[in-house]
Structure 1
């Protein structure tokens, strides 16, 4: 039996009993209405949800704004540049599909471990998710880099300029795929313990760095080389690298919160943790695969 008094200073959500090891679909099928723990009210639960959600909302809003600014700056190079970037969007998202599964599973398992008072288990899940993401991201990076030209052609590049621009843009994105993937996993586990504010901070910083470097690297201001569309892609992955450094610092520093990443704890595979992550995240991966396939078909149809 967990000691409720020890969690008074945390989230009210932490007092909810630990769930069973079920997939999202199984949870919906077997969902039962259970009373809230003693001392927890609906108002407290709603307050927790808002507390966790608002940083994510701000982060998403500012990220979309940064993406718009990014496209506006690329658009100054000409219509071909916008076309080139647009041709890479769906292939890049398709490569991110498997990480959707890892992120959903990691968030759920970390949240469940925190609710059960198992800090050691939460940290184990974080290490397992990082290990799997690192290995898969390296493989995806190689595949994506060497198939970039084919993917841009497949998406409908109709002229040599758009094909060349899209290829170099996607290749640079694939070089920076590992930092981006690792950052998303840390974001997922932080949200699993109710800390969405930290993720908001480093993702907003990454977007600011991206926009600033766009100014220097696309147009060649302040003595920087004018790299054009390659500069836009490079600015993006450098911003993501900054976010990754900040994300790792957040979970590795002492007294960083519930999660603490120690390299000395090791990253050997834990079959039970890996199976739990994929069991919960697999439906999300299927959903994303179907959605991305539909978007690719749509994009090719209208191209």
Structure 2
């Protein structure tokens, strides 16, 4: 093996890219936990449960929008990585422009229209009870307005990561998350002479931080020495090759995200039928599960960037080595998290709320989350490697079967037929993650992903 591709150099390159992503995602999730802890300790038990449930309901529509944005971004990351590997940096600016424009026209505008025009109907559709709607309507509307900036930020971050620059997104996200936490404390509780806005205050702070992130990113991409540079003097023209690549990679990714969101929506409706306390508990557990996603996501992004770049440089075996090494490191971290969730779940859950019923139920669920860890981490990283290669069809198949069929069907059976409550819902999630892991592992071992071409 050449010295440039030694095991040590492969590990160093993975850490260089995955390290900042891991720190960024971990800090972002921790800040999200702090947000929810603040809301969980605002007002009476009933008010805090409804506030947490309102966040969960709002996130359903936002996540649908962001999922579709991410499907275009998967194409952007893969294309930027391929062009970097093939020394075709001249095509990168056009890719970024295409993704920003298409995202705002075809995804942001429809989400804004639905969210602002049909607020109450949408919240009911996502399973909100009347107490949640009463507390959460203004929160919902403010967060939906912030989607304009959130979608823009996601597009730029995706391009930067495809180019191997993960430090810039990390620095910007940590800065604005710190601003968000400070803003939350002031606006939720009414500190420093500011009135208390409760859940709406959390929304105002969140959107404000997203606007600041957009300003930072615009300043960055306009600089000539930035990793991704946009020259506003250049006229924009639609490029058929770039659109073809975005469609080829993005359509299966979009269908995957639609399948995932429909599956999660149906699943959330099953959980919501258990009542506000169970739904609030579920939201806390989802929030904690998101923390455990961070190693898999970080190393999945590294696998995506490095596999795409290696395939662009016509080195498919190197792409495989990068993905396998990412998977090994991710496995060690996920095992550590599993141990923490299993033995210290009660202590973690008690940070969110004073409601003893919620804490007890969350502690039980966290033991199941511990067993989810190895399958979740492995399939996230292998899926990242496949997406970096432009192979999004098999990630679509695994998600369609795992979430839309297995999770929903078993969730219905365990919760509504067997009466296993919230624990039954999370048992369905465990089985779903296991099934998806099997599908992705089989696809990775066929090596067919190494031979997918883009224009």
Superposed counterparts of 1:31-42, under 5 Å:
39-42=4-7
Q: Give the TM-score normalised by structure 2.
A: 0.56
Which residue in the other structure is 2:51 paired with? Answer: 81
Give 1:193 shift. Answer: 0.6
RMSD: 1.8
Q: C-alpha deviations, 1:188-220, integer Å up to 9, x for none?
A: 000011001100111111211110100111122
8 A contact 2:17–2:164 mirrored in 1: yes
- Give the count of matched residue pairs: 266
Which residue in the other structure is 1:149 paired with? Answer: 120
Q: Decide which moves more: 161-170 or 109-118.
A: 161-170
Which residue in the other structure is 2:28 paired with? Answer: 63
Give 1:38 shift. Answer: 8.7
8 A contact 2:136–2:200 mirrored in 1: no
> Where does structure 1 differ by over 4 angstroms across 4 or more consecutive aligned residues?
36-39
- Equivalent in 234, 237, 251 of residue 265 of structure 1: 234
Superposed counterparts of 1:35-54, under 5 Å:
39-54=4-19
CA separation in 1, counterparts of 2:75 and 2:134?
Answer: 37
Which residue in the other structure is 1:93 paired with? Answer: 63
Which residue in the other structure is 1:248 paired with? Answer: 218
Give 1:120 shift. Answer: 1.5
Superposed counterparts of 1:1-303, under 5 Å:
39-75=4-40, 76-77=42-43, 78-136=48-106, 137-159=108-130, 161-257=131-227, 259-303=228-272
Q: Label 1:177 to 1:267 Cα distance change in 2 as closer, same or farther (>3 A).
A: farther
8 A contact 1:202–1:246 mirrored in 2: yes
Which residue in the other structure is 2:384 paired with? Answer: none
8 A contact 2:186–2:192 mirrored in 1: yes
Gaps of at least 5 residues in structure 1 are 1-35
Q: Label 1:162 to 1:252 Cα distance change in 2 as closer, same or farther (>3 A).
A: same
Give 1:39 shift. Answer: 4.7
Q: Which has the higher contact order (CA 8 A, sep 6+)?
A: 1
8 A contact 1:113–1:121 mirrored in 2: yes
8 A contact 1:220–1:226 mirrored in 2: yes
Higher helix share: 2
Q: Decide which moves more: 244-253 or 52-61.
A: 244-253
